[in-house]
Structure 1
Amino acid sequence: MDEMISPVGIAVLFAGGLALFLYGIRMLSSGLKKASGERVRLLISKVTGNSLYGLLAGAFASMVVQSSSTIIAILVGLVQSRLMSYSQALSVILGAEIGTTAMAQLVAFRLHDYALIIFAAGFALHSLGKTEPLRFSGEALSGFGLLFFGLKLMSEAVAPLESYAPFLSLLRYLENPFLGVAAGMLLTALMQSSSAFIGILITLALQGVLTLEAGVALLLGANIGTCITSVLASAGMQRAAKRVALSQVLFNVAGVLIFFPFIPQFAEFIRALSPSAESFGAGRLAHEVPRQIANAHSLLNIFMALLFLPFLSLFDRLVYRLLPDDPEETRLIPAVWYLKESALSTPLLALSYVRAEVARMGSIAAKMVRASLYPFINSDLGHDVVFPRLSVIKGMSMREEKLDFLESRISDYLIKITRSSLNEEESREVFALMNIVKGLESIGDVIETLEGKMLEKKRGVESDLSQAGKDELMEIHNLVCLEIEELAHALKQMDRVRAGALLEGEERFKRLVEQAEVAHLKRVFLLPEAEITHDIHMELIYLLEQIHHYGKSIARSIVNVGEG
C-alpha cells in the first residue's frame, strides 16, 4: 500500500479540495452578506448595554458571515470609529465565538455526495432568480455546495493515508495535548480561518484516523490561532480598538486553560452526548468523530460564553488595566470639553459653554489652515506641530474629524437651547453660533479636499510647482492663516471689534490673488513645466479663496451677534 501512495498526487488533490472549500466559504459568506445587506453591521452597531442582546447579535452575525474573525474585525472598526464602546463589544465577541461553530455542525452532516446537486441548484437560482434576494441566496447555496465538494476532494486525498504508517505516526503525536494545541494554534494562525482548519479536522475524522481527544486539543489551539485576524486588524489603531482584539485573545486563552487539564473527561462527556455507531475500529471513528468534533466545538464555546457573560464588567476592568488609555492618544480622539446638559435650563450659562466650545473649534481650524499648504511645497511628510508622532497630513485629518464631531454636537446642543424661553438677543446669538459652527466645519471640508483630491492629483503629476509659484501661494496662504488665527482670537470673547477689522482690507487679498494668477499664466506661456502643474496651482488658489470667504462669513456672524 505504501508504495502506491503518490505524495504529489495527494498534495495536489488536497490543495485543490482546500481551495474549493475556502472559496465555497467565501461564496456562502458573500451571498449571505449581500442578502442581508448592511443589516449585520447595523445590528452590531445598535447593540446597547444589554449583554444578552449583544451575545445573541454576535452569534447571529457570525452565523451569517460564517467567520468570527470577520465579526471581531468589524467590532474593531466600530470601536475605532466610536460607533460602539469597547464595553458594548465584549458581549458581541462572546456571541461571535458561538456563531462560528455553526460551520462545523454543517460540515459534519456528511453532505458530500449531494455537493454538486446543491451547487447546481444554487447556480440555477443565482442565474434565473428574478430578484436580488433570490440571486444572492443562490450564490450562498452555490458556496454551500462548493465547500462540501471541496471537503469531498480533501477526504479522497486523505483516504490513501489511513493505512500509511508514517502519517499515522504523525497523527499519534497529536494525541499529546500540548502538541495538539500548539499545532492547532499555528496552523489556524497561518490559514487565518478556523472554519478551514476545522474542515480539515473533520476530513481527517471522516477517514477514521483522528481521535476525539486529538481533535479537542486541536480545536483548543484553533480557538487561539483564529485571534490573529483581529490582532492584525487592530494594529495601528487606538487603545479601545486594541482592547477588542485583546479581549478575544484572553477569552480563548482562558478557554484553553480551563479545558486543557480535562480533555479526556470532556471527550467522554461529548461521546455520551453524541450518536454512537455499531461498527468497530476505524469505521466507528469515521462515523462518530466528525459529529463529536462539531459538538465539542459548539459546547466549548457556548460554555465559555455563558461562563463569562455574568462577569463582563470585571473582565472589562481587567482588560482596561492591562491596556489602559494613552493620555496622548486620548487627546487625538474627538470629544466635547465644555458643553454640559445640566446647563440647558439656564440659556445664558449654556450659551457661555457653547462660546467656549466654538472658540476651541476656531483654534483647531486655525492649526489646520496653517498646515494645509505644507504637502504642496515640501517633499517630506513633516510633523504635526502639537503631536510630533503624526505627519502633517495625519494631523490635518485628525483635526478635520474633530471639527465634524464638534459641529454635530454643538448644533444639537444649540437646538436644545432653543427649546427654552429665549430673549431676542439670545435667539440672535444662537442663530449666529449655528452659522459660525457650520462655517468652521466648512473650512475643515475645504482642507479635506486639499489633502485628498488635490494631493492625489499632485502625486499623479511628474513635475513640481515652480519656486516662484510656491512663493506666491505661500504669500496668499500666510495672509489666510493670519485671518483665521485672528478669527480664532475673536471667537474666544466673541469680540466684535476684532471681527469687524477682519471684514476690512479685502483689497489686499484680491490684489495678491490677481497678481498670483497673472504671474502664473505668464509662466504657463513661457515654461512647459508650468503648464503641467497649471490645474493644481489654480485649484490651490481657489481653495485658499474659499477658506478666506468662509472666514469673512464667520466674522460677519460675530459682528451680527451684538447688533440689535
Structure 2
Amino acid sequence: MLTLLNLLSAIALLVWGTHIVRTGILRVYGTQLRHILSHNMHGRMMAFSAGIGVTALVQSSNATALLATSFVAQGLMALPPALAIMLGADVGTALMARVLTLDLSWLSPLLIFSGVLLFLSRKQSRLGQVGRVAIGLGLIILALELIVEAAHPIVQANGIEVLFASLTGDLLLDALIGALFALLSYSSLAAVLLTATLAGAEVIGLPVAIGLVIGANIGSGVLALINSSMQSAAGRRVALGSLLYKLLGLLLIVPVSGPLVAWMGELKFDPATLVIGFHLAYNSLRCVLLLPSVGLMARLCSLLLPERASDDGVAKPRHLDQTALDTPSLALANAVRETLRIGDLIEQMLGRQLDVLRDDSSEAGRQVRRLDDDVDALYNAVKLYLARMPRDDLGEQDNRRWAEIIELAVNLEHAGDLIEQMVGKLNSHKRPRLQAFSDSGLDELITLHGDLTANLRLGLNVFLSGDRSSAQHLLREKRRFRLHERKLAHAHVNRLSRQVVQSIETSSLHLELIADMKRLNSLFCSSAYAVLENEETGALGAGVEPAAAEPTRQDDPPLSHADLQTK
C-alpha cells in the first residue's frame, strides 16, 4: 500500500510541476506570447512555428489552445492559422517531453534551490516568477526520478499482473485510458512522461505505452474542447479542429500499429527512449502531413459549429474567458476589452440622450434605459471576473492595471446611471409641461454634449494606451470643459436677466444638465490621473489633482470678462 501511495504522490508531483511551469511562464511572458501568436497568423508555416515555440516554453498545448481560441473568438485571428498553431503545439509538447527525459538528475536540486530563493525574496517581481518556473522544472525532473524508484517494487510485487491486466496492448482501449489520464492530470505532457517512465521500469510493455501516448494526445484535445465550452462558436472551432486532427492520427496509425511496434522492439534502445522517440516522430509526421489541410478543416469545423443567432436581451460578456483567470496578463487583457465595450455602450447612451435633448424622443429614452441595463450587466461581470483573479501572485504592474480597470468600470457604471437620470429629467420636465429650451440654450447644451463625447473617447484611448502626452491633453480638455461649462452657466443667467421666457421656464433643468455634464466629464477624464501618477512626477507634477476633489474645487482661476461674454 505504501509503495502505491509513493507512486501516486510522485505522479501528483509531476502534474503539479507542469502546472507551476505553465502558470509561471504565462504570468511572466503571457503578453509577449500573445504578441507572438497574434502576429504570426499570416502563413501556415509561421503559425506552425509559433505554436511550437510557445508550447515549448509553457510546456502545455492546453495553454496554447487557450490563447488561440481566445484570439479566434475575439475576431483577432482567422481559423486556419489558429489550427496551424494547434498542430505546432502538438510538436512543441513532444519536443519538451524529449528534453525532460534526458539525464538531468543533477539539475533538479539546483533548480529547486535557486528557484525557492528567487521566489521567496522577490515574489511580486518578474524575477520571482522566473524562480517559480525554475521550481516547477526541478519538481518535474525530481518527480520522474521518484516514479522510477516507486515503480521497481511494484514490478516485483505479487499481483502486478492483475493490476495491469486491462492493458493488453489493444490500441483503442489503451488510447482511451491514456486520454483519461491526460484529462485527470490536465496535461498530455505529464501523461507522456509518466508513460515513458513506466515503460522504462518495465511496468508496461511497448505496445501498451504506444497506445497510452496516442491517447494522451487525444485527451489534450478533449481537454481543450472542454475549456472552450464558454467561448463563442468561433473559438470552439479551434479546439474541435485540433481534436479531429488527433482522432484522424489515431485512425491513420491503427492499421500499421502492429508492424510498427514489432520494428521498434528490434531497435537497440531502452523502452523509455523508444516511447519518447515515437511520441516525437508521431506528432511531427502527423502534423506536417496534415498542415496543408487546415483550410479544409476550418470549413468542416464551421459546418459542424455554425454561428448561433445572437440574443437581443441584456448584454452578455464576450471577452471574460474564465479559463484565463490563472494567467493574469491574459485575464487583465480580457477585462480591458470588456471595459472598453462598456465605454462603447456609454457612447451610445450619449447619442440617444442627444436625441432626447433635441427632439424629445420617447423611443430614444427607452433605448437609454435598455443600454443602462446592459452597462450594469457588463459592469457586474467585469467586477466579479476581477474579484476571482488570484491577486497574491500579481506583480506590481499587474496590480496597478487591475486597480485601473476596476476604477474605470465603476466610473462608467456611474456615468450610465447619471445619463439615465438626465434623460428622466428631460422627460419629466419637458413633455408634461410642453416646455422647450431657448434656441441659444439648446445650442449651448448640444455644444457641451459634443465636448463631453469627445472627452469620453479620449479617456478610453488614454486608458488603453497609457500614453502620458495623451493623458496631459485629456486634462487640458477637462479644464477647457470646466471653463466652457462655467461660461455657459453665466450665459444662461444673462438670458434670465433679459427675461427670456423659455430660459425662465427651463432654468432649473438647464443648470442641472450643465452640472450633470460636468460630473460626467470628471468621470470620463479620471483615467488620465492613473497614467500620470505612474510617472515619476506624478499627477501633481502635471499641475492637476485627483478627480475625487473635483466637486469641491476652490482653486480655479477667476474667469475673465471675455470668458463671461455670450453671443
For the aligned pair, the TM-score class normalised by the smaller chain equals 0.5 to 0.7
CA distance in 1, matches of 2:253, 2:85: 22
Which residue pairs with 2:298 in the alignment? 316
Alignment of 1:7-156 (within 5 A): 7=1, 9-33=2-26, 36=29, 38-112=31-105, 115-120=108-113, 122-123=115-116, 138-156=131-149
Which residue pairs with 1:371 in the alignment? 370
Residue 228 (1) aligns with residue 222 (2): yes
Q: Decide whether aligned partners of structure 1 residues 134 and 371 sit closer, same or farther in structure 2, where only a CA change above 3 A counts.
A: closer
Shift of 1:372: 5.1
Asked if structure 1 preserves the Cα contact closer than 8 Å seen for 2:179 and 2:215, the reply is yes
- Helix, strand or coil for the counterpart of 1:235? helix
Asked if structure 1 preserves the Cα contact closer than 8 Å seen for 2:352 and 2:368, the reply is no
Shift of 1:453: 7.2
Tell me the alpha carbon deviations over residues 511-537 of structure 1, each in whole angstroms, 9 at most, x when there is no partner: 369999xxxxxxxxxxxxxxxxxxxxx
Asked if structure 1 preserves the Cα contact closer than 8 Å seen for 2:22 and 2:63, the reply is no
CA RMSD for the aligned pairs? 4.7
Which residue pairs with 1:261 in the alignment? 255
Q: More displaced, 237-246 or 173-182? A: 173-182
- Helix, strand or coil for the counterpart of 2:42? coil
Q: More displaced, 146-155 or 33-42? A: 33-42
Alignment of 1:345-364 (within 5 A): 362=351
Q: Which residue identity does 1:244 align to in structure 2?
A: V
Aligned partner (choices 390, 393, 401) of residue 377 of structure 2: 393
Asked if structure 2 preserves the Cα contact closer than 8 Å seen for 1:247 and 1:319, the reply is yes
- Helix, strand or coil for the counterpart of 1:56? helix
CA distance in 2, matches of 1:222, 1:211: 16
Count of paired positions: 396
Which residue pairs with 1:200 in the alignment? 194
Alignment of 1:482-561 (within 5 A): 500=443, 503=446, 511=508, 546=520
Q: Which residue identity does 1:72 align to in structure 2?
A: A
CA distance in 2, matches of 1:264, 1:302: 20
Asked if structure 2 preserves the Cα contact closer than 8 Å seen for 1:59 and 1:92, the reply is yes
Which residue pairs with 1:164 in the alignment? 157
CA distance in 2, matches of 1:549, 1:161: 67
Residue 216 (1) aligns with residue 210 (2): yes
- Helix, strand or coil for the counterpart of 2:307? coil
CA distance in 1, matches of 2:11, 2:445: 69
Q: Which residue identity does 1:94 align to in structure 2?
A: L
Q: More displaced, 191-200 or 9-18? A: 9-18
Tell me the alpha carbon deviations over residues 311-340 of structure 1, each in whole angstroms, 9 at most, x when there is no partner: 221111111111122243799999xxxxxx
Asked if structure 1 preserves the Cα contact closer than 8 Å seen for 2:15 and 2:185, the reply is no
Which residue pairs with 1:304 in the alignment? 286
Asked if structure 2 preserves the Cα contact closer than 8 Å seen for 1:101 and 1:297, the reply is yes
Which residue pairs with 1:290 in the alignment? 272
CA distance in 2, matches of 1:300, 1:329: 44
Tell me the alpha carbon deviations over residues 449-468 of structure 1, each in whole angstroms, 9 at most, x when there is no partner: 4675799xxxxxxxxxxxxx
Asked if structure 2 preserves the Cα contact closer than 8 Å seen for 1:188 and 1:225, the reply is yes
CA distance in 1, matches of 2:252, 2:506: 72
Q: Which residue identity does 2:368 align to in structure 1?
A: V
Residue 478 (1) aligns with residue 424 (2): yes
Tell me the alpha carbon deviations over residues 139-174 of structure 1, each in whole angstroms, 9 at most, x when there is no partner: 433322221112222222222110234333342431
Shift of 1:241: 0.6
Asked if structure 2 preserves the Cα contact closer than 8 Å seen for 1:476 and 1:509, the reply is no
Q: Decide whether aligned partners of structure 1 residues 137 and 188 sit closer, same or farther in structure 2, where only a CA change above 3 A counts.
A: same
CA distance in 1, matches of 2:7, 2:504: 77
Q: Decide whether aligned partners of structure 1 residues 480 and 164 sit closer, same or farther in structure 2, where only a CA change above 3 A counts.
A: farther
Shift of 1:257: 1.3
CA distance in 2, matches of 1:57, 1:474: 48
**Structure 1 regions of 5+ residues with no counterpart?**
1-6, 278-287, 335-357, 375-383, 385-390, 399-444, 456-469, 484-495, 517-540, 551-564
Shift of 1:72: 0.2
CA distance in 2, matches of 1:166, 1:57: 47
TM-score, structure 2 as length reference: 0.59
Q: More displaced, 323-332 or 34-43? A: 323-332
Tell me the alpha carbon deviations over residues 210-256 of structure 1, each in whole angstroms, 9 at most, x when there is no partner: 11211111111111111233223322321111111111111111111
Tell me the alpha carbon deviations over residues 353-405 of structure 1, each in whole angstroms, 9 at most, x when there is no partner: xxxxx99994699576322555xxxxxxxxx7xxxxxx97259999xxxxxxx
Asked if structure 1 preserves the Cα contact closer than 8 Å seen for 2:200 and 2:272, the reply is yes
CA distance in 1, matches of 2:262, 2:188: 24
Which residue pairs with 1:241 in the alignment? 235
CA distance in 1, matches of 2:202, 2:3: 17
Q: Decide whether aligned partners of structure 1 residues 79 and 370 sit closer, same or farther in structure 2, where only a CA change above 3 A counts.
A: same
- Helix, strand or coil for the counterpart of 1:40? helix
Q: Decide whether aligned partners of structure 1 residues 23 and 333 sit closer, same or farther in structure 2, where only a CA change above 3 A counts.
A: closer
Q: Decide whether aligned partners of structure 1 residues 361 and 369 sit closer, same or farther in structure 2, where only a CA change above 3 A counts.
A: closer
CA distance in 2, matches of 1:39, 1:139: 18
Asked if structure 2 preserves the Cα contact closer than 8 Å seen for 1:21 and 1:147, the reply is yes
- Helix, strand or coil for the counterpart of 1:230? helix
TM-score, structure 1 as length reference: 0.59
Shift of 1:105: 0.9
CA distance in 2, matches of 1:211, 1:246: 32
Q: Decide whether aligned partners of structure 1 residues 480 and 548 sit closer, same or farther in structure 2, where only a CA change above 3 A counts.
A: farther
CA distance in 2, matches of 1:330, 1:90: 31
Q: Which residue identity does 1:290 align to in structure 2?
A: A
CA distance in 2, matches of 1:542, 1:240: 42
Q: Decide whether aligned partners of structure 1 residues 35 and 446 sit closer, same or farther in structure 2, where only a CA change above 3 A counts.
A: closer
- Helix, strand or coil for the counterpart of 1:168? helix
Which residue pairs with 1:404 in the alignment? none
- Helix, strand or coil for the counterpart of 2:11? helix
Shift of 1:261: 2.7
Which residue pairs with 1:463 in the alignment? none
Asked if structure 1 preserves the Cα contact closer than 8 Å seen for 2:116 and 2:132, the reply is yes
Q: Which residue identity does 2:221 align to in structure 1?
A: C
CA distance in 2, matches of 1:91, 1:71: 12
Q: Which residue identity does 2:177 align to in structure 1?
A: A
Alignment of 1:324-363 (within 5 A): 324-328=306-310, 362=351
CA distance in 1, matches of 2:60, 2:507: 59
Residue 250 (1) aligns with residue 196 (2): no
CA distance in 1, matches of 2:153, 2:112: 27
Q: More displaced, 88-97 or 102-111? A: 102-111
Shift of 1:192: 1.7
CA distance in 1, matches of 2:43, 2:506: 57
Q: Which residue identity does 1:22 align to in structure 2?
A: V
- Helix, strand or coil for the counterpart of 1:328? coil
CA distance in 1, matches of 2:37, 2:151: 40
CA distance in 2, matches of 1:245, 1:364: 43
Asked if structure 2 preserves the Cα contact closer than 8 Å seen for 1:25 and 1:143, the reply is yes
Asked if structure 1 preserves the Cα contact closer than 8 Å seen for 2:174 and 2:212, the reply is yes
Identity among equivalent pairs (%): 22
Shift of 1:310: 1.3
Q: Which residue identity does 2:377 align to in structure 1?
A: I
